[in-house]
Amino acid sequence: MDFIIKFAQAHESFRVAEIQALAVIESVDLEVLEYSDDSPFCIARLPSVRDAQRLIRRSILAQSVHELWGTGATFDALHQSVKERTSKLWADYKSVSFKFTIDSYQGTHSNNERLSIINTFDYLPFEGPIRMSQPDETFTVFEQWPFNSVPLGIEKPTNIYLGRLVGKSSRETVLKFDLKKRGYISTTSMDSELSLITANIALAGPGKLFYDPFVGTGSFPIACACFGAMAWGSDIDGRSIRGEGGAKSLRGNFQQYYIKQRLGDVFAADLMNSPIKRDRRIWDGIVCDPPYGVREGLRVLGLKDPEKTPWLVEQGKKNASSPDFVPPKKPYSFLAMLDDILAFAAATLVDNGRLSFWMPTANDEDQEIPVPTHPSLEVVVVCVQKFNKCQDLITAVGSRRLITYSRLSDEKVSAAAVAVYHNRKTVSTVGSTVDDLNPFRRGYFKKFES
């Protein structure tokens, strides 16, 4: 069966990726027949109406799904398509209450024109009452118009579809988790829409364990827990986890949404100095937004030069168990961090478990930073979020990518690729300052100064 998926006109490069991930979660056979980032309408083939409803029910970027009754470049072609596709179904809807609506993308009609369009479907033998509120069936005429059609005076759409509404999404969940309503956030908290989309693409769901190694105030664990996963997290700065305590803390955020039972635990650690053992593959998913090191330089636990500061080593041995102890930190390479994230994921993800993490698109010369690779991880999809000028000033990133990998089973990992990986040149960590180790940060401030 063919269906129309109506997307929200936002985060276009993420839309199909999310729907494809939901097809994996729901074990639904999905075939995308027609799609363009320039249109909110997607034509997809699914086994049944029930499968369409399952596919769409937890989507964030889709709005609704409709059984496709007809399509054409003109209304005459549309009516002919409707008759050929659905005449055998008409008897099923003869007595139900119904309504017709018109959804024109980049085009417009007067009320009289809308009524005239609806009346062209008078050949449908519907005898039930017309109800504009809560009808049994809703039929929508979708129109795709050329860009800027109203000021250009374009009079006709380029594509027209008729669909029967069969299911709605969970897009309203974005409002429930809106950061403006959240009790505890920081300047780096990921907005609710992108957090939920990331959780969907990473296949978060009931019975799964998800982990964020840069947890901050908990945006990603909250999103994963929203979909039923058990969430865990850590951060190098325990203060971001603890907050002010009570409602003004990461745990307080989970309490606010009544999902505290889905918070496994959170703890202070960094990726390279973690109590999580690398010989246990336990995570179904790892989701994170690593620091880019622009506002503050990237750091990792440790001493820059232990031989020159032996007293700090002794101080650490003596006071490490004290709740007031603040461990020393040293500069950390941005590129090494990306490499370490993949190595950690390869060592701890279950087979087919997913890693979804955000990273900036370009370095200081505006050259695209290559997508990091690992022989045990297969790239599933790369989605790009572009910023406007105001967002660019806030995030210090012109655009960023959500990169999603799947953990290959050991028998699918190429031994030759593993050998090449281990013999490759180690990611450069030359330098002693945060700018030496982070070309992204160095380039950003050079541009800022100029």
Whole-angstrom distance, CA of residue 35 vs CA of residue 41 = 7
Residues 31 and 122 in one domain: yes
What mean pLDDT do residues 133-142 have?
96
Last residue in a domain, options 138, 169, 200: 169
Name beta bridge partners: 161: 71, 142
> Is 325's pLDDT higher than 90?
no
Residues 249 and 199 in one domain: yes
Q: Is residue 99 part of a domain?
A: yes
Q: Is residue 94 part of a domain?
A: yes
Q: Is residue 305 part of a domain?
A: no
Domain count, the chain: 2
What mean pLDDT do residues 7-27 have?
96
Whole-angstrom distance, CA of residue 152 vs CA of residue 11 = 27
Residues 202 and 159 in one domain: no
Amino acid identity of residue 253, one-letter, is N
Whole-angstrom distance, CA of residue 14 vs CA of residue 384 = 8
> Is 170's pLDDT higher than 90?
yes
Last residue in a domain, options 169, 194, 223: 169
Residues 16 and 100 in one domain: yes
Q: Is residue 143 part of a domain?
A: yes
Model pTM score: 0.89
Q: Is residue 303 part of a domain?
A: no
For residue 397, give the nearest of 305, 291, 278 by alpha carbon.
291
Residues 179 and 152 in one domain: no
Residues 252 and 346 in one domain: yes
Task: Give the pairing type, strands 230-235 and 263-268.
Answer: parallel
Domain of residue 402, CATH code: 3.40.50.150
Q: Is residue 254 part of a domain?
A: yes
Residue 83: enclosing H or E segment and its boundaries? helix 75-86
Residues 276 and 356 in one domain: yes
Count of beta carbons in the 10 Å neighbourhood of residue 394:
10
Q: Residue 396: what pLDDT? A: 52
Residues 267 and 128 in one domain: no
The torsion angles phi and psi of 220, rounded to 5 degrees, stand at -70, -45
Residues 181 and 162 in one domain: no
Domain of residue 128, CATH code: 3.30.2130.30
Q: Residue 332: what pLDDT? A: 80
How confident is residue 393, by pLDDT bands cut at 50, 70 and 90? very low
Place of tokens 């997913």: 354
Last residue in a domain, options 119, 153, 169: 169
How confident is residue 425, by pLDDT bands cut at 50, 70 and 90? low
- Tell me 158's DSSP state: S
Q: What is the DSSP string of 100-132?
A: EEEEEES----HHHHHHHHHTTTTS---SPB-S
> Is 22's pLDDT higher than 70?
yes
Residues 420 and 362 in one domain: yes
Q: Are 74 and 65 in contact (CB under 8 A)?
A: no
Residues 233 and 282 in one domain: yes
Q: Residue 392: what pLDDT? A: 46
For residue 357, give the nearest of 395, 391, 383 by alpha carbon.
383
Q: Is residue 312 part of a domain?
A: no
Q: What are the tens digits of pLDDT across the range 172-190?
A: 999 999 999 999 999 889 9
Q: Is residue 308 part of a domain?
A: no
> Is 320's pLDDT higher than 80?
no
- CA angle at residue 144 from 143 to 150, to 5 degrees? 95
**Residue 113 domain boundaries:** 2-169
Residues 348 and 428 in one domain: yes
